[in-house]
Structures are given as C-alpha cells and as structure tokens.
Chains A and B, each alone.
Chain A
Amino acid sequence: MSWKNIRLVFLREVRDQLRDRRTLFMITILPVLLYPMLGLGIVEMMLTFSEQPRVVVILNADDLPTSPALLDQSGIGEEWFENGAEETSKLRVLAERTPQAGNEEKSARRPRRGEKTDEELLAVAHQLAEKIETLHGLRPVADESMEATATPQPTSAESPESNTSSTISSTDKTAEAASTEAKLTAAQNDISQQFGTSGFQVLVIIPKGYRAAMEAMQREIQTSSSATTGVDAKAVATRVPPVLVVRNSADDKSMVAFGRVQKALQSWEDAVRKFSFEQAGLPKELQHPARLAWIEVALEEQVAASVWSKMFPALLVIMALTGAFYPAIDLGAGEKERGTMETLLISPAKRVELVLGKFATIMLFSTATALLNLLSMGLTGQQMSAVMSDGMANRVSLDFPGLAPLAWLVILLLPLSALFSALCLALATFARSTKEGQYYLTPLLMVVMGLTMFCLSPAVEMTPLYSVIPVVNVALLLKGLLLNSASSGNLVVYAIPVLISSIGYSMLALWWAIELYNSEDVLFREAEKFDIRMWFRQLLRTKDAVPALPEAGFCFILILMLQFVAMTYMKPDLTNGDPGLTMMRLIVIQQLTMIACPAVFMGMLLTTSLRATFRLRMPSITAMALGVGLAIVAHPLTVELSQFLVEHQVFPELPESARQVMGLMKTGDKPTWLLLLVFAVTPAICEELAFRGFILSGLARGGRLAIAVGISSMMFGIIHMIPQQAFNAALLGLVLGLLAIYSRSLFPAMAFHFCNNAIATFHAGEGGRIVADGVFFSRDPDGFLRYDAPLLILCAIAGTLMIMHMIKVVIRDQDAKRRGLVPDFRDLTKGEEVIA
C-alpha cells in the first residue's frame, strides 16, 4: 500500500468535489447560511407576527369593587400581571359600564373590517351570559334560588377555577330532573357555537350586586373579628355570588387569553383578600400560612447545556451522515455512471489505495459538514438569544458549551463519520448508478434518524449495552457529556467502549467497501431490467442443489417476521387450564410453524436436493461425539458468561415472559420427557433445519465459510429477540455453524443443540442433585447452580481444542476443494462419499 497513491486519489477527489458546485453548496455553503437565515427568519416573524390582542368582555364591570380596582382606564390594570404593560397590551378588555358622558367617547373605537363593533360584541355577550346562566341555573331569579344553586365557597367562586365546567358538573344533577339530557346538550351546543363566532375569546360575567355583596362581606368580617363572636363565616361567604369566567378550551386563542385573565384575577383576588384582612385588622401572615419560596439552582450555562445537549448530538449524527451521503454517491456510483471507474481500475494503484483515498475524501466532507453545521448553529443560537432576551423576559442564554465537551464532540465525531463514510462508500459502490445509490442510502438515513430520535428521549441514558450499539453510543455519550460537565466523570468510563466499538464498526464497513472493490461482479454489474413474473418463473425453473444467497436471506426475514407476528398475536391464554402446558404447547407450535416450516417449504420449492440443502448425511462418529462434547463444555461457559454480563448490566434482566418459561423448568411438576421434548428436541430439530440447514447452505454458497457461519449465527441470535438470549444464541450459533460445515451433516449440530438445551433445562431446574463443593460447583443465594473457575478453565481448554480441530479440518478440506481434488457443492448430492 503506498501513501503516495492514497494521497493522490484523495487530493484529486477533494478537488473534484470542491469544483462541484452542487456538493459544495449542499455541504458547506448551506449550513453556513441556513442557520443564520433561519434565526433571522424567526426573529423577523416574532417582530411581525407578534401576538394579536385578544378580546375579553367584562359584563357588568360597574359592579366590581373599587378598592382594589381590577380595571383601570385602558383595561385590566398593569399591576395584576406578572410582566406588566407587555401583557396588558395583549388583551383588549371591553368592559361594560353604564353609559356616562365622558366614557362614551373614549371607548368608541373604530373597528377594522370584519370586526364587530363594541356594541355588537356586548349584545352577543349578553345573550351568551343569559343562556349560560339559565343553563347552569345561576340566573338570579329570586334570592332563595340563587342561594340554593350557587357554588358555596367564596374563594372558589371568585377564583377562576370555578369555571363553567366545574359548575356544570355540580349543577347537572339538580338540573337533570327538570330538563332532559337532549335539551341540555342542545343548549350547550348552541352556547359553544355562539361563543366560537362571538368575536371575543373570554367572557367575564360579574353578577348583579357583586360589589354590594363584597362590601357587606367585608363589613361582616370586620365586625365578627373585632367582636370575636361565632358568626358562621360560611353564611357570610355564600352571599357573594360567583364571578363567571367563560372560555373555550378547544380554542388556543381563548386558552391563551384565559391564562392571562386567570393570572390577573388571581393576583387581584390576593389583593382583595389582603385588603379585607387589613380592614378586619387580621395579621397579614394569615394570607399565606404556608410560606413558600422557590429557588432556582440551574446556572445559566446549564440551561444552555440542556438545550445543546439535545441539539448537538442529533445534529452531529445527521449532518455527519448527510455530509458523507452526497460525496459518497458521486465517488462511488457516479464514477461507474460516468465510465471513469474502469480507467481508474486500470491504473497501477491498488484497490485498497483507491478505496482509502475515496474514504478519506468522504470522511473529510462528513466531518467538515458536521462541524460547520454545529458551529453555524451554535453561533446563531448565541446571537438569537442575545437579540431575544432584550425584548422578552427570556433568560435562556445559549452560550457555547465549554471546551471539554467540545473536544469530546470532535473526538467522537471522527469514528462516527468514519463509519458513515465507509458505509456510504460501500453502498454507493454497490449501486449501479447514482439513482440507485440514493435508493440504497435513503434507508440508511432513515435508520440513523430513528436511532437519533431514540437518543433524544430524556429517559434514555447510557448503559453498557448502548455503549456498543453504533450511532446510539456516540449520541448518548455526547448528550450526557454536554448535559452536565460535573457528572461527566462517570460517563467518561464509557468513552472507551464507545470509541473502540465505533472504530471497530468503521473498520468493518471499510473492509466491506474494499471487498466490494475487489469483486468484479459489483464493479461490472450491468443494469438489467427486472420483471417480477419472469424472476419468479426463473426462480422456480432454475433450481440448484442448495439455495441461493438471496433465498437464504429471504428465509431469515420470513422467520423473523413470523416471530414478530407471533409476538403480537399469539399471546397465550394463561387464565384457564394448566398455564404451563398451554405455554409449552405454544412453544412447540411456534417452533414447528414459524421456524421449521418456512425453511422446509422453501427447501422443497427452491432447491433440487433436500439432502444437500439440509445436510442430511450420515455423520462420522467423531463428529457426533464432538457435538455432544462441545455442548457439555459450552454449557458452564455460557451460563457464567451471561451471569457476568447481567451482573455488569450489559444486558437487562430477563423479561417476565422469559422468566415464566424458566419457571416451567423449575417447578418440577412436569415429567422430564415432556420438558426435554419441548425445550430440547423441538428446537434442536426445527432451529437446526432452518439455520444450519437452509440458511447456512445458502450463505455458504458464496464460498466464504467464515462469513457464512458468522452471518448465520448472527441471524440465529436475532430471532431470539431478548438481548441476553440473543447473545448466547449468536455465540452458540458460531459453534453450531462450524459443526455443520465440519461434518457436512446436520446431525452433530442437532446433537449439540439437543444436549445444550437439555443441560440448560436441568440447570434451570436447580441443577439436579449436583452437590456444591466450592471448587467446581457452587450455588448462588437463589439456589442456582454456578460453576467455579477450575471447571470453567477445563471447559475452555477442552472446547478450544475441539474447535481448533474442526477449523483445521475445514481449512484442509477447503484447500483440497480449491485444488480441485474434491467436487464442489454442485456435486455434493452425489459426491458426499468422497469426504466421509
């Protein structure tokens, strides 16, 4: 590998990209301009489309007490609002007063087109008030009736919480006898409709004689408190009729205005109370017996941090991918499309050098795009918060995060964009044209976006498991680091697995890209027309002894989807009968119909030799012995490994459903043969037919056995769903795959699977009669059989020896095959004797 060539390719590609106006615009100019423009736009919008004033109609405003006065000349007094004049200006208060010469002229306001005049508004308000009061039985027909129906407590009556809805529920029952339900709803519909078109958003109805009642109450409190006679305070209070505040919760405008009116009324009410208390000579402290004080501990930079901790990781991930996306398509598929690929391949540069040069280019653009976006957005945010905090009482300052988090940002960005660059390059190389490249890359973009959204949720925090999931690990670590620099000490521990795994993934992706560049099928694929009917006919007509690669992939997807369906629709009914038996029956059914059936059917339909596909050949005795032996030594290792991982919280605890199944093995009320049949025999047959049979045969066709075994075991892990079991299954899948390849037969793998599951069943059932001796075996507090170091070491040695032996044999066979001494898979149907 020569650095000179890599550099040459790199420099050319960078120059090429820089000369491409579209790419340049997408990944550099756009972010630099986008955020300031967006920011400017938002500020502009806020200035132009500042909130329109909402109309509040106050009926019978003359009846409000004057000390303290709720209303002043222009509307509700500034002093009742938290933010003073600013909020006053957002409400247009139309207070109904008895006409006086002076007032008349001032309130005469020229309505704009389409708006109602004040008189019209008041007329509507009166109609509404009448309807509402009759509906809720509040119309003061006579003194007695009012006393009987009005809500009793004066505080709640005055406070806006006693809005119409609460009144409805309390009066409903009394009204039920008089009017039918239908009438009531009709009336309510009518009111709602009229309110909607009324032209005002909040209606405040001050009852007749409100001021007089209030003053009477105040006087009474005064005399009662000075005389300290036991006058019933309740009796006093009920004489003050409630102020009705009408709103429409379904209308945002009404809700916003209502919120303002409510706050003002509350502080006004406080003032009224204070005034009454003063008049009565009561101590002020009585007003707020529970003294409360709110203290804000968030520093300004932390507020900023919490904003950035959400924005930056998401933006970083998405922009790193976007930045890789466009150059990758151009460098991969674009090169094929323009016909320059072949020229490049003919140059003496090695494929690796070409790939690395291209990869470095894409990574440069990916990193640059991400950083430019962050920088531009950060600066814009800072600028905007400065602009906005002038006008508004908005104390969020969006200062840039500190140096340390920024350094982390850059460090974590590198493996992330390496991963994206390599992935994009590989996919773009695989594509025949730029259009196809976009088809391949769009799903990648969606998946990554989904993962990022997942990380944005505040509930999701870093765990050991997340620290090795690509994309998620970087996003979560960054989120944590940006959120709280103080506690980042704990998180930094995760930096190691995050970095190592991210670098690992990017290496894998890069390796894949290099592989693709070495594959002539990929480089010289001809775009061909695709006809589904033709394709299907071809599929059935041109069968081979063993399944093709895509068929194996399809089989896996089919099994996976069936599992998914089963998870949602096949919930066992455990309420009647024997729940254990029901569950066991279900397990067997699932195994047979959703794992074995798809594989066997596909095998019958798509291959010519079931024998070759499912490896139905007599194994040697050695192979069978290896299967059994490996199962025995693998068991303690897997048990201890998964215990270790659970204890270190790499995997979550088993979910309830899995524990129920474990419980079945434990209780011991089922006969042993049944347990073995359900948990060992069935999976050994069904899962092996599917995974080491159909799927592995298809995958191994590519000739790369190691990859085939790896992928098949990963698939095997994935269908186990529960992380812990999936991990175990994937590990064992490697051994099973090796066994199948080594012996060219499915039976040793079945034997392994059977023994492994059988032992696990006994293990779950408290490990039989094995005595804990403290050297080889021990028991944990739950009575679970555990294995100790000496036993584990012995097992590991034995296992390694057996695996080494198998690998050696497989490699020898492969060599022989390559030299043409052994017929390849096409002759396997008849030629298996050659090996045995």
Chain B
Amino acid sequence: MIRVQGLFKEFDDPRSGVFRALDDVTFEVRPGEIYGLLGPNGAGKTTCLRILSTVLRPTRGLVEVDGINVVRNPEGVRSRIGFMSCNTGIYDRMTAWEMVEYYGRLYGIPEEKLQARITEIFNVLQMNDIRDRLGGKMSTGMKQKVSIARTIVHDPPVIIFDEPTSGLDVLVARAVLQAVSSLRDQGKCIIFSTHIMREVEKLCNRIGIIHRGKILAEGTLPELADKYQQPDVEELFFDLIQRREEEVRNSGANSEA
C-alpha cells in the first residue's frame, strides 16, 4: 500500500548549503496494519509524512501510495489518502458540518452520497452537538474530532497520522487512538508518527525508529525486542539513539581530523 524506497530529502539551508532531513529511508506498510514512526523532535517524521502526502517533493527515491507514484501523479495520491496532524487547522469561520462538507466536495464525492457519509461520520464520532458550531469557538478536542472527520470523509484506503495526540488531554487522546485502531479494523493502511512510546506499544503492528533522518531499526515489537535484547521499547529507543549519536560524533571527529 505504502512503499518508500531509498528516500532522500534535502532542504536548502542558508547556513550549511543543504540540510539532509531524510537519509535513505526505506519501509513498507500493508493494508490493515498500523506502522509506527517513532522518533525524537526533528527526526524527520513530519518531513517523511509530508512527502507521502505530496506536499513536499522527494529529492531522490521512490515513494508509492496505493501503487501510485507521488511525483508523477500527486493528485491521484491525494485523493487516496487522508492526512491528519496536530496542527492541521480548522477554519475559524466555518461550522463543523461545513468544513467536512467542503472537503468532501473537494474530493468530488457526489452530493447525496456525501450527505449520507457525513451524517454517518457525525454519528460515529458523536459530533452532532457541535454540528453548527464555528471552528473558532471549538475546544481542542472538538477540533480534533472535526479533523478526523475531515480526514476520513472520502473513505481513503491510506491514512496518515502525524502526532495526532500531541497537545490533547488523556480522554481525547484515548478517543483518537480508539478511532485509529477502529480504522485499522476496517482494513485501512495506516502510518502513525509519534514520539510517545506507550502509543506505539498499544497501537502499532510494526514500528520504525527514526533519528536524524535515518531509520535505525524496523520490525514488529517482539522482533525488535529479540534483536536488540532490550526489555521494552523505551530502552530500545534510548539505546539506539545513543548509539547513533556516538556514531555521528565519531564520524564528525574523523572528518575533522
């Protein structure tokens, strides 16, 4: 469903010329599976997911979503994915219903089908009481619900979550995670980035640990525990990152010497 192979992303940096945010990233996500992208701040998670959603172009490498290349047919990819992040904003002067409706129309869903679909989503997510509330007057939890509704209004086979729980309280975060896991049960192909270990442990079928643009380790949780001989994800995470940091420091020292 999602195929990323040898992906590089470089940004022009005023200081050092180019900054490599993604360095030879390779992974695959299959339908009915949640792939967790685990990494500290600035690891390159958002960059990677933005490339998947075609708003950034890869510098090099192959990226396919549902068999469609993100560079050759970005519109095709966009109509097959849902994307949600902690800061995908809500229009202040639009009601919840209008907002979801607007995106539904942009996705080209026929009108009757769209109305039925929105009604269904509003029922499932229990959003009928905020139906006519303006975005500017919603709480963060309500906004997040609207975001989820917007993400799934066109029933996409692939859904991308970029730290969807950041800034939410426990209750709302829990609701969001439940929504994610029920989407997986519907057979969606889900990629989920976070820096919170517990979420990964609870939710993800497979994880990739990313740091400084490189995937350090990848596999199911038991596989990783086996391979690196660490009791839990947290230890594994720290260990890997520490090792990588040391590597970088050494190579830096070598090149300077």
Contact = CB atoms under 8 A, between A and B. Distances in A.
Contacts of B81: 346
Contact of A348 (B87, B92, B108): B108
Nearest to A18: B93
Contact of A350 (B53, B75, B102, B150): B75
Interface residues of A, number: 26
A19 B90 CA distance: 15
A5 interface: yes
Contacts of A347: 78, 103, 106-107
B91 A5 contact: no
B15 interface: yes
A293 B160 CA distance: 88
Given A338-B89, A340-B91, A345-B55, A542 B16 contact: yes
Interface centre among A345, A520, A544 (most CB of B within 10 A): A345
B75 A348 contact: yes
Contacts of A4: 108
Interface string B10-41: 00101111000000000000000000000000
A524 B17 contact: no
Nearest to A337: B89
Contacts of A461: none
Contacts of B144: none
Contacts of B89: 338-340, 342-343
B59 to A, nearest CB: 11
A348 B55 contact: no
A338 B12 CA distance: 25
Contacts of A20: 93
B106 A349 contact: yes
Given A12-B102, A19-B93, A520-B56, A348 B17 contact: no
A772 interface: no
A78 B79 CA distance: 87
B55 A520 contact: yes
A8 interface: yes
A590 B102 CA distance: 61
Given A16-B93, A347-B106, A348-B108, A538 B78 contact: no
Interface in A152-193: none
B88 interface: yes
B3 interface: no
Nearest to A826: B17
A338 B79 CA distance: 23
Given A346-B78, A348-B78, A520 B57 contact: yes
B8 interface: no
B107 A542 contact: no
A339 B94 contact: no
Contacts of A348: 75, 78-79, 106-108
B17 A346 contact: no
A16 B91 contact: yes
A524 B56 contact: yes
B17 A544 contact: yes
B194 interface: no
Contacts of B78: 346-348
Nearest to A538: B15
B198 interface: no
B85 interface: yes
Interface centre among B50, B92, B93, B107 (most CB of A within 10 A): B93
Contacts of B75: 348, 350
A350 B92 CA distance: 23
A339 B15 contact: no
Contact of A346 (B16, B57, B83): B83
Contacts of A780: none
A384 interface: no
B105 interface: yes
Interface in B90-138: 90-94, 102-103, 105-108
Interface string B143-165: 00000001000000000000000
Contacts of B88: 339-340, 342-343, 346
A211 B50 CA distance: 102
Interface in A394-452: none
Interface in A305-363: 338-340, 342-343, 345-350
Nearest to B79: A348
Nearest to A2: B108
Interface in A1-37: 4-5, 8, 12, 15-16, 19-20
A803 interface: no
A338 B105 CA distance: 22
Interface string B59-83: 0000000000000000100110101
B80 to A, nearest CB: 9
A402 B144 CA distance: 57
A524 B46 CA distance: 12
A771 B16 CA distance: 63
A346 B87 contact: no
Contacts of A105: none
A62 to B, nearest CB: 80
Given A346-B53, A346-B83, A348-B79, A340 B90 contact: yes
B14 A5 contact: no
A143 interface: no
B157 to A, nearest CB: 14
Nearest to B89: A339
B150 A523 contact: no
A287 to B, nearest CB: 77
Contacts of A345: 55
A16 B94 contact: yes
A521 interface: yes
Interface centre among B85, B89, B90, B103 (most CB of A within 10 A): B89
A347 B106 CA distance: 7
A17 to B, nearest CB: 9
A521 B55 CA distance: 11
A4 B108 CA distance: 9
A524 B56 CA distance: 9
Given A8-B106, A347-B107, A348-B78, A342 B55 contact: yes
A524 B54 CA distance: 13
B90 to A, nearest CB: 7
B256 to A, nearest CB: 16
A538 B248 CA distance: 23
A293 to B, nearest CB: 67
Contact of B105 (A8, A19, A538): A8
A338 B87 CA distance: 9
Contacts of B106: 5, 8, 347-349
Contacts of B94: 12, 16
A18 to B, nearest CB: 9
Contacts of B83: 343, 346
Interface centre among B55, B78, B90, B106 (most CB of A within 10 A): B106
Contacts of A346: 53-55, 78, 81, 83, 88
A4 B105 CA distance: 9
Nearest to B93: A19
Interface centre among A349, A521, A542 (most CB of B within 10 A): A349
A19 B107 CA distance: 24
A348 to B, nearest CB: 4
Nearest to A341: B89
Nearest to B160: A346
Contact of A523 (B55, B87, B102, B105): B55
Interface of B: 12, 14-17, 50, 53-57, 75, 78-79, 81, 83, 85, 87-94, 102-103, 105-108, 150
25 contacts: A4-B108, A8-B102, A12-B102, A15-B93, A16-B91, A16-B94, A339-B89, A342-B50, A342-B55, A342-B85, A342-B88, A343-B89, A343-B150, A345-B55, A346-B78, A346-B81, A346-B88, A347-B107, A348-B107, A520-B56, A520-B57, A521-B12, A523-B55, A542-B17, A544-B17
Q: Which 6 A-B pairs give the minimum distances between C-beta atoms?
A: A339-B89, A340-B89, A19-B93, A348-B79, A347-B106, A339-B87
Given A342-B50, A346-B55, A544-B17, 7 more contacts: A339-B87, A339-B88, A340-B90, A342-B55, A343-B103, A346-B88, A524-B55
